[in-house]
Amino acid sequence: MSPSSEPAVRALLLRGGRVAGPSGTAVRDLLVVGAHVLTVDADLPDVHLPGVPVTEVDLRGRLVLPALVDQHSHPTGGGGGGGPHTQNLPILFEQYTTAGIGAVVGCLGHDTVVRTHEALLARVRALRAQGLSAYLFTGEIGHPPATLTGDLRRDLTLFTEVRGVKAAVGEVGAVGTVDELHRLAGAVARGSRTGGKPPALHLHLGADPRGAALVGRAVADGLLPAAMVTITHVNWNPEVLAAATDLARTGVHVDVTACILPEYFPGAVPPHRAVAELLDRVPVEQITVTSDAGGSHPHEGALVPHRPVLLLDVLRRCLAERVAAPHLLGAVFAGNAARRLGLTGVGVVTPGARADLLVVDESGREPISLVLGGRFVVEAGIPLVTDPIGGGPAPEPMEAVS
Ligand SMILES: [Zn+2]
């Protein structure tokens, strides 16, 4: 079929999967037309749409979750904190999709000299053109922060792709006083208001629990709104996790990092265990998990890259060990971050939402499939769309994210 005779709209009828909706999981048929979910129904009749080819797919025995929303990743490649030879390669589109990720928020890591927000924005736009819902945080670990325009408020106001500000506590050169946190909170609040987005301050915690204590003091005196804050890397060690849990009780959001594994960072709390502990103690809507992909750590003279698939590994462990019901895991791995950052239409499986769907099995062992914008981009673990910068075959054009 020549491109000119391609139908403008396609439909998918996904039959019989266990669909994790906002309030529970049930066997449902899903009708996807174009890029969006049209209907979620217990038993849809055969569908005939004039001029629209409908592909029917049997998902019996499979679980359908919202595609994962990863709000901390380094798509340009992070690293660089150990010298130029520790900079990492960019993350390819298919490295995200084969990890079940449909939306990603990129940020800069330790190196903000060679790695810039301009390069990050360009990479985000490249991923969007391929069909991933890609965004970024302005700001950085250091303080005062590097930005796109020289000003956090201008970045938040002028770029829809910028969904919040990254900063850090408990790191060398990071925010170090309650006063600095207050000023940062003011910039986030004002820039988000003029940018028309929820205020989001994404705070990297170092492994020293005094970082969390500083956040606690700033929240306690009333000038850092708890609801604005997400603290990430809460599973560095049991002390940081305990401090983060206390902070969560004040309303702060807590984010578990998939690459902080005991085998990578001795003393770390395994991410799936951290999720389980937090679910016991913190309202589910305050909990997220992110990959932190794009960084690396040295091991026996080599660098071990942190891949997006580490996030999927945590989800698989949570499913296999029944850490929570699938619809709650859908919230923790997708819906919560999307709602928090005002990413409308992603992170949920409901009529009208973008058809970004992760098909997985409840044992967590089988290869995944992923639908993005109404098209399968991964089938049984095999990527169907590959990133041109990876040297693969030229991709079929995707409907770019608007
Ligand atoms: Zn990171």
**Quick one: pLDDT at residue 393?**
64
Residue 375 placed within a domain? yes
- The DSSP secondary-structure symbol of 326 reads H
**Quick one: pLDDT at residue 402?**
62
Compute the average pLDDT of residues 59-72: 98
Compute the average pLDDT of residues 328-339: 98
Cα 79 to middle of ligand 1, angstroms? 9
Cα 194 to middle of ligand 1, angstroms? 27
DSSP 64-111: EEEPEEEEEE-TT--B-BTBGGGBPPPPPHHHHHTTTEEEEEE---S-
As a whole-number percent, the residues of the chain with pLDDT over 90 amount to 85
Query: Is residue 249 located within the same domain as residue 329?
Result: yes
- In the predicted structure, residue 301 carries a pLDDT above the cut 90: no
Cα 292 to middle of ligand 1, angstroms? 5
Terminal CA-CA length for the chain? 27
Q: Average pLDDT of the chain?
A: 94
At 209, the pLDDT band (50, 70, 90 cuts) reads confident
Cα 307 to middle of ligand 1, angstroms? 12
At 1, the pLDDT band (50, 70, 90 cuts) reads very low
Query: Is residue 9 located within the same domain as residue 82?
Result: no
Cα 140 to middle of ligand 1, angstroms? 10
Query: Is residue 47 located within the same domain as residue 101?
Result: no
pTM score, whole prediction: 0.96
Cα 138 to middle of ligand 1, angstroms? 13
Cα 72 to middle of ligand 1, angstroms? 6
Cα 59 to middle of ligand 1, angstroms? 35
Query: Is residue 217 located within the same domain as residue 350?
Result: no
- In the predicted structure, residue 397 carries a pLDDT above the cut 60: no
Give 119-138 pLDDT, tens digit per residue. Answer: 999 999 999 999 999 999 99
Cα 112 to middle of ligand 1, angstroms? 12
Q: Token pair of 337, please?
A: 């971050």
Cα 258 to middle of ligand 1, angstroms? 11
Query: Is residue 124 located within the same domain as residue 191?
Result: yes
Query: Is residue 181 located within the same domain as residue 329?
Result: yes
Query: Is residue 131 located within the same domain as residue 280?
Result: yes
Give 361-386 pLDDT, tens digit per residue. Answer: 988 889 999 999 999 999 999 999 99
**Quick one: pLDDT at residue 120?**
98
Cα 375 to middle of ligand 1, angstroms? 30
**Quick one: pLDDT at residue 78?**
86
- In the predicted structure, residue 7 carries a pLDDT above the cut 90: no
Cα 296 to middle of ligand 1, angstroms? 10
**Quick one: pLDDT at residue 400?**
64
**Quick one: pLDDT at residue 35?**
97
Domain enclosing residue 268, as ranges? 67-340
Cα 241 to middle of ligand 1, angstroms? 17
Q: What is the CATH classification number for the domain harbouring 100?
A: 3.20.20.140
Query: Is residue 249 located within the same domain as residue 368?
Result: no
Q: What is the CATH classification number for the domain harbouring 29?
A: 2.30.40.10
- In order of 86, 170, 291, 294, 309, the CA distances from 303 in angstroms are 7, 24, 17, 12, 17
Give CA–CA dist 224/216, Å, rounded.
Answer: 9
- In the predicted structure, residue 332 carries a pLDDT above the cut 90: yes
Lowest-confidence pick of 4-8, 107-111, 339-343? 4-8
Query: Is residue 177 located within the same domain as residue 52?
Result: no
Q: What's the domain count of the chain?
A: 2
Give 246-284 pLDDT, tens digit per residue. Answer: 999 999 999 999 999 999 999 999 999 999 999 999 999
Residue 370 placed within a domain? yes
Cα 78 to middle of ligand 1, angstroms? 7
- Shortest CA distance to 330 belongs to which of 16, 23, 17? 23
Per-chain residues with Cβ under 5 A from ion ligand 1:
292
Contact 321, 29 (CB under 8 A): no
Cα 86 to middle of ligand 1, angstroms? 14
Task: Give 59 or 207, the one with higher predicted confidence.
Answer: 59
Query: Is residue 155 located within the same domain as residue 36?
Result: no
Vertex 83 angle, CA 140 and 233, to 5°: 40
DSSP 212-269: HHHHHHHHHTTSS-GGGEEEE-TTSSHHHHHHHHHHHTTT-EEEEETT--TTTSTTPP
**Quick one: pLDDT at residue 2?**
44
**Quick one: pLDDT at residue 60?**
97
* 329 half-sphere exposure, CB direction, 13 A CA radius: 28
- In the predicted structure, residue 395 carries a pLDDT above the cut 70: no
- In the predicted structure, residue 398 carries a pLDDT above the cut 70: no
At 13, the pLDDT band (50, 70, 90 cuts) reads very high
Cα 95 to middle of ligand 1, angstroms? 17
